[in-house]
Structure 1
């Protein structure tokens, strides 16, 4: 006897679902002979796994199991059974990284006589959506830094170089532009040859692994030395396809920030960082995320 199984999601060929919403699917079971079965079960699982050389670390945050039918006799041919799960709102988005992943699966278990079991599995993708109209995400973010370009390390309370940088909002979606503004007061005798603005994704894998990726880089003009007035300039940094900022998981944490580096003399490169949040906003924008490229 042969049993084949398809896990189907109507009008959702990519199997992309959203946290806080319902997941609808169906099982299409095909038998070559009449068969007695002890039950059919559907399981949904979600876990974060980090892959280390010495040891792997994991975290489970989604486990649910439902019974489709109990003990029955199924005739030869195809049988279709619907199923439904409620996806929790507070779970991380699917992610595939250099040293680990956050992965969700649907598993069908067909329990046969003598307690033998056939299992069929399909990977699904879950994204956590964010409403960019939230007032807290519309706030401007500003970071300031004061530096002494004459000394790499110093306790002297004299900082002739001040850099203020701000972004227009807290959160952004892939495909949007981050409006960056930089205000510089350079009363030192060291010229700033230019500024380098980089959008960076940093992924931390518990316990000690980390990966850093420069997503976008923009070069800006510099500032003369011994300048008594504040110089203001800015640029736009486009957000490319990338996974969303996510700090929900305990073993895989994803954050984004703008790193601004002042290019000066060889041993002095003042740096300030502005945290930004990259989000998934709807199904159309989620196609631009890193998820679609994995």
Structure 2
């Protein structure tokens, strides 16, 4: 009893954007019965996280070797935009009727953002999270990732305009033996 479906759709079929572009999308809910909510909240977030471990072996004064591990972590938030599509966190309850309900959202990305990245020691991620804020009950969240590409204009650096020459040298040796 409650939500049958919850899907986020973006205006770009590849879910890929350049820094500075505007994201337009919608959340589509299908309810099998009316739902009382405080609101529907959307949150856009861009963040980076890194983590790795270094091991060092040190010799103690009595000649034994001890291993010490040092964990390094870092986190950076690039942007966060959040607002209510319907209702508010301090408002009265709203009853959403049964059936399919669609709520549109939009967000302008900051003009300078690093490209999305996933690696062994960290990531740069961009996400959209839509929350069905329900009073006195657990909130229901729908989340999706999108990709940001930082366009790099090679024309801005004059050293990239200098022509480069490529020389290739090959050496051949002739070797034979007499039995």
Taking structure 2 as the reference length, the TM-score comes to 0.74
**Distance in 2, Cα, partners of 1:36 & 1:2:** 10
Contact 1:89 1:128 in 2 (8 A): no
Determine whether 1:68 maps to 2:85: yes
CA distances 1:26-80 after superposition (whole Å, capped 9, x unpaired): 0101111111111100001111111213243111111110110004211111100
**2:174 equivalent in structure 1:** none
Structure scoring higher RCO (CA < 8 A, sep ≥ 6) equals 2
1:181 matched residue in structure 2: 165
Q: Structure 1 181/125 Cα, relative in aligned 2: closer, same or farther at 3 Å? A: same
Show the counterpart of 2:123.
101
Alpha-carbon shift at residue 222 of structure 1 (Å): 6.9
Q: How many residues align?
A: 148
Structure 2: gaps of 5 or more residues: 54-70, 88-92, 172-179
Stretches of structure 1 that go unaligned for 5 or more consecutive residues are 142-167, 170-178, 183-194, 196-219, 224-294
Corresponding residue of 1:120 = 142
**Are residues 1:8 and 2:30 paired?**
no
Post-superposition offset of 1:91: 1.3
Q: What TM-score, normalized by structure 1, do the two folds share?
A: 0.47
Tell me how far apart the structure 1 counterparts of residues 84 and 151 of structure 2 sit (CA, whole Å). 29
Distance 2:37 2:112 in 1: 36
**Whole-angstrom distance in 2 between the partners of 1:86 and 1:6:** 21
The answer to whether 1:221 aligns with 2:169 is yes
What are the within-5 Å matches in structure 2 for residues 46-85 of structure 1?
46-53=46-53, 54-70=71-87, 71-85=93-107
Assess if the C-alpha contact under 8 Å between 2:9 and 2:25 holds in 1: yes
Q: CA RMSD in A?
A: 2.1
Q: Which runs of 4+ in 1 moved over 4 A?
A: none
Q: Deviations over 1:111-153 (max 9, x none)?
A: 1121521111101101122445x4x33x235xxxxxxxxxxxx
